[in-house]
């Protein structure tokens, strides 16, 4: 039983937490700005490599360089919005979706030019798992879970209690009505991109530190993140967290049933099933 | 000798343009006419390529099938196979906005790639499928290349002609009506979901045909033969640049983008090896940037959709 938990449940929860961080960003954009953001995985990759850049250039430890990378990626996300997405706002949303697919490719190729395509790591040395009453946890796994918990709690509190958080929820519910009530949609959009960029960097960083840094990692993880966002209910932050954990666990457990190369197809199957059976997701989100 | 090399190169380019032109025509049915976002073009292409190869290639102990059927059967099989994969995806996703279709088609392409890489009895492992027959393959090299080029162009023209007929028929007008105002079309009694499914499946079948043409041209295929995201993206940019909703625009876009793409490859190949790999990614970056510029400055493309009553559905609203 302990072995089962150590080999399947713990890795599932860790990867699920990483998916959750990515899925929150996707669900916020889907809910508030109303389009599927297909550059999200590559935004996460970029954030992860920015953290690597900060580590090598300034010599901070990886975990200390993460906040810097989060700020940089937040600015980058907003910059991309200003440069490429904003002028498409008045047109059908699907054009923004298409633009984002191109942005994803552009981000990926910038990372590939700057850092090369060979896998990289934040640091050398083997992190040994420690035993907690039989549960084997590595320090980086504990840190990943703690970081996810802290970010999700902060975000939920922000959305629930702060003025700007309420404005974000209002715009998510009905942008026109929100504007009539004096909500500045432009500022909410800017705030959304900052939050989304920072979270994307965090998810990319955690993905990189728990496995290795590859230029394709964000793109490959994006399908799982989207599935998590839809599973939880589009626009629902708590849904994205639950969805992320479910997808992460399902992927790790899938190897018990199907050959391991098909692990990454699990998310796709779940996505189709949820669209077929309950498109609004577990937490009753939007259906666009 | 040099001139023969040049002619061979031009025939090769022409054949690739023809194949990409067919892909762009397939996408035009889905996106240009119906407004469906298929981000998994390479997946349908691969299904067509593998199915046609397996149906027509000689048998091999390493993999299944290899039935040595006529090439035409392979092509029809490729179309049917791609359509068969598109159908369930369309059934699930076409009820929603196209964002969902986009992610589902990305997923399909990924799953197809996974299957091909994992199931060696299907794809022949790392060696891939070899010995795929080519029509006119028995001729001398240059002549055989040219004959196949002519065949691809003939298929391209046939697809073009068939689609033009289909789109000027009531079916085409109905599709555009659904694209431009779904609610109005539904109120007129059109079965929106069903029509979208028809269009999605038709487009996928055309993409499968393009895959079959490709595999018989190359005579072999491995799972790594094409980069799925780049291939998909190239087709998209061909259609958007040429003009969504216009079949001639789709072909024009295929010509321009393929020329730019392979010329830039020609240039980067001249660079020293250590910068050449980086230059490859710079090319991808530039093609992505090109999409952004077209979407911003000329969303209707070079040859806009012909219409009596309205401007392109991509243009900003007039109010």
State residue B182's pLDDT score. 84
Q: With H, G, I as helix, E, B as strand and everything else as coil, classify residue A252.
A: helix
Residue B308 reports pLDDT greater than 50? no
Please check whether residue A255 touches B, CB under 8 A: no
Contacts of A91 in chain B (CB under 8 A): 299, 314-317
Comparison of pLDDT for B131 and A243, the residue scoring more: A243
Q: Is the CB of B111 less than 8 angstroms away from the CB of A110?
A: no
Buried b vs exposed e over A40-57: b needs ≥16 C-beta within 10 Å?
bbbbbbbbbbbbbbbbee
Contacts of B291 in chain A (CB under 8 A): 98-99, 102
Residue B220 reports pLDDT greater than 90? no
Residue B318 reports pLDDT greater than 50? no
Phi/psi at B312 (5° precision)? -60, 145
State residue B232's pLDDT score. 92
- pLDDT over 70, % of chain A: 99
pLDDT tens digits along A21-65: 999 999 999 999 999 999 999 999 999 999 999 999 988 888 999
B317: closest chain A residue by CA: A91
Residue A11 reports pLDDT greater than 50? yes
State residue B258's pLDDT score. 94
Please check whether residue A274 touches B, CB under 8 A: no
User: Furthest-apart CA pair in chain B: how many Å?
Assistant: 65
Residue B139 reports pLDDT greater than 90? no
- Residues found in chain A: 288
Find the mean pLDDT for residues B140-153.
91
Residues 6+ apart with CB under 8 A from A88: A95, A96, A99, B295, B296
Residue A126 reports pLDDT greater than 70? no
The domain limits of chain B are: 13-226
Residue B311 reports pLDDT greater than 70? no
Minimal CA–CA distance to B264: which of B254, B250, B276, B253? B276
Residues 6+ apart with CB under 8 A from A225: A19, A22, A23, A25, A26, A40, A41, A203, A244
Max avg pLDDT among A72-81, A270-279, B190-199 = A72-81
Q: Is the CB of A259 less than 8 angstroms away from the CB of B117?
A: no
A contact residues 15-44, partner B, Cβ 8 Å cutoff:
30, 35-36, 38
Contacts across the A-B interface (CB distance below 8 Å) = 129
Supply B102's token pair.
């986009």
Find the mean pLDDT for residues B288-311.
81
Find the mean pLDDT for residues A72-79.
97
Please check whether residue A267 touches B, CB under 8 A: yes
Mean model confidence pLDDT for chain B: 87
- Report the 10 Å Cβ neighbour count for B291: 22
pLDDT tens digits along B87-110: 999 998 888 888 899 999 999 999
Please check whether residue A93 touches B, CB under 8 A: yes
- The pLDDT-based confidence of A228 (bands split at 50, 70, 90) is very high
Please check whether residue A205 touches B, CB under 8 A: no
Q: What is the DSSP string of A191-244?
A: HHHHHHHHHHHHHHHHHHHHS-B-TTHHHHHHHHHHHHHHHH-BT-HHHHHHHH
Domains and CATH numbers, chain A: 2-119+135-277 (1.10.3470.10)
State residue B29's pLDDT score. 94
pLDDT tens digits along B14-30: 999 999 999 999 999 99
> Of A182-186, A216-220, B30-34, B59-63, which gets the smallest average pLDDT?
B59-63
Residue B312 reports pLDDT greater than 60? no
Nearest CA to CA, how far is A275 from chain B (Å)? 7
pLDDT tens digits along A151-209: 999 999 999 999 999 999 999 888 888 888 888 889 999 999 999 999 999 999 999 99
State residue A225's pLDDT score. 96
State residue B319's pLDDT score. 40
Q: Is the CB of B37 less than 8 angstroms away from the CB of A94?
A: yes
d(CA B84, CA B47): 10
- Strand ranges, E, within chain A: 130-132, 135-137
Nearest CA to CA, how far is B210 from chain A (Å)? 23
Mean model confidence pLDDT for chain A: 91
Contacts of B93 in chain A (CB under 8 A): 275
Give me the residue from A88, A94, A110 closest to B285, CB to CB. A110
Q: Is the CB of A268 less than 8 angstroms away from the CB of B99?
A: no
State residue A93's pLDDT score. 87
The dihedral over CA atoms of A62, A68, A72, A73, expressed in degrees to the nearest 10, equals 50
State residue A209's pLDDT score. 92
Residue B159 reports pLDDT greater than 70? yes
State residue B314's pLDDT score. 57
State residue B274's pLDDT score. 76
- The pLDDT-based confidence of B69 (bands split at 50, 70, 90) is confident
3-state secondary structure B194-242: HHHHHHHHHHHHHHHHHHHHHHHHHCCECCCCCCHHHHHHHHHHHHHHH
Find the mean pLDDT for residues B257-272.
87
d(CA B213, CA B231): 15
A contact residues 155-194, partner B, Cβ 8 Å cutoff:
none
Task: Report ipTM (2 d.p.).
Answer: 0.90
Nearest CA to CA, how far is A1 from chain B (Å)? 30
State residue B1's pLDDT score. 53
């Amino acid at each position: 039983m302990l072995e089962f938990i150590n080999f399947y449940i713990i890795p599932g929860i860790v990867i699920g937490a990483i998916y959750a961080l990515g899925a929150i960003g996707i669900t916020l954009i889907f809910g508030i700005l109303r389009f599927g953001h297909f550059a999200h995985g590559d935004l996460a990759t970029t954030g992860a490599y920015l953290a690597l850049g900060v580590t090598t250039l300034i010599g901070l430890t990886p975990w200390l360089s993460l906040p810097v990378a989060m700020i940089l990626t937040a600015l980058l996300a907003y910059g991309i919005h200003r440069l490429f997405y904003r002028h498409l706002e008045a047109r059908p949303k699907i054009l923004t979706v298409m633009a984002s697919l191109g942005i994803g490719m552009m981000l990926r190729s910038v990372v590939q030019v700057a850092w090369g395509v060979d896998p990289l790591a934040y640091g050398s040395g083997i992190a040994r798992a420690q035993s907690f009453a039989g549960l084997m946890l590595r320090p980086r796994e504990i840190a990943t879970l703690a970081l996810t918990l802290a970010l999700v709690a902060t975000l939920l509190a922000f959305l629930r209690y702060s003025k700007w958080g309420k404005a974000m929820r209002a715009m998510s519910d009905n942008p026109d009505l929100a504007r009539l009530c004096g909500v500045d949609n432009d500022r909410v959009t800017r705030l959304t991109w900052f939050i989304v960029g920072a979270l994307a960097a965090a998810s990319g960083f955690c993905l990189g530190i728990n496995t290795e840094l590859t230029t394709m990692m964000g793109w490959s993880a994006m399908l799982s993140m989207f599935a998590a966002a839809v599973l939880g209910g589009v626009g629902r932050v708590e849904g994205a967290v639950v969805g992320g954990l479910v997808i992460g666990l399902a992927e790790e457990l899938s190897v018990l049933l199907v050959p391991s190369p098909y692990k990454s197809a699990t998310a796709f199957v779940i996505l189709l099933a949820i669209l077929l059976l309950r498109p609004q997701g577990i937490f009753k989100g939007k259906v666009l | 000798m040099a001139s023969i090399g040049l002619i061979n190169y031009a025939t090769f380019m022409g054949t690739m343009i023809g194949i990409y032109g067919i892909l762009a025509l397939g996408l035009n049915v889905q996106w240009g006419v119906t407004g469906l976002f298929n981000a998994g073009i390479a997946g349908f292409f691969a299904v067509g390529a593998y199915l046609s190869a397996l149906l027509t290639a000689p048998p091999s102990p390493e993999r299944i099938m290899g039935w040595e059927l006529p090439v035409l059967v392979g092509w029809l099989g490729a179309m049917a196979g791609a359509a068969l994969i598109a159908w369930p995806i369309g059934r699930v996703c076409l009820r929603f906005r196209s964002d969902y279709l986009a992610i589902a088609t990305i997923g399909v392409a990924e799953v197809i790639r996974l299957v091909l890489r994992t199931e060696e009895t299907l794809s022949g492992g790392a060696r891939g499928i070899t010995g795929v027959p080519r029509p006119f393959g028995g001729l001398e090299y240059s002549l055989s290349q040219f004959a196949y080029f002519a065949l691809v162009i003939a298929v391209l023209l046939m697809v073009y002609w068939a689609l033009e007929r289909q789109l000027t028929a009531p079916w085409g007008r109905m599709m555009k009506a659904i694209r431009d105002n779904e609610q109005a079309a539904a109120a007129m009694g059109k079965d929106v979901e069903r029509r979208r499914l028809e269009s999605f499946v038709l487009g996928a079948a055309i993409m499968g045909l393009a895959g079959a043409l490709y595999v018989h041209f190359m005579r072999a295929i491995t799972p790594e033969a094409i980069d799925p995201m780049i291939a998909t993206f190239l087709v998209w940019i061909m259609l958007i640049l040429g003009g969504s909703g216009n079949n001639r625009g789709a072909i024009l876009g295929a010509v321009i983008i393929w020329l730019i793409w392979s010329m830039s490859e020609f240039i980067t190949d001249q660079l020293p090896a250590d910068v050449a790999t980086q230059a490859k990614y710079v090319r991808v970056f530039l093609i992505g940037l090109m999409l952004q510029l077209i979407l911003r400055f000329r969303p209707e493309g070079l040859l806009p959709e012909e219409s009596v009553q309205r401007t392109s559905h991509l243009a900003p609203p007039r109010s």
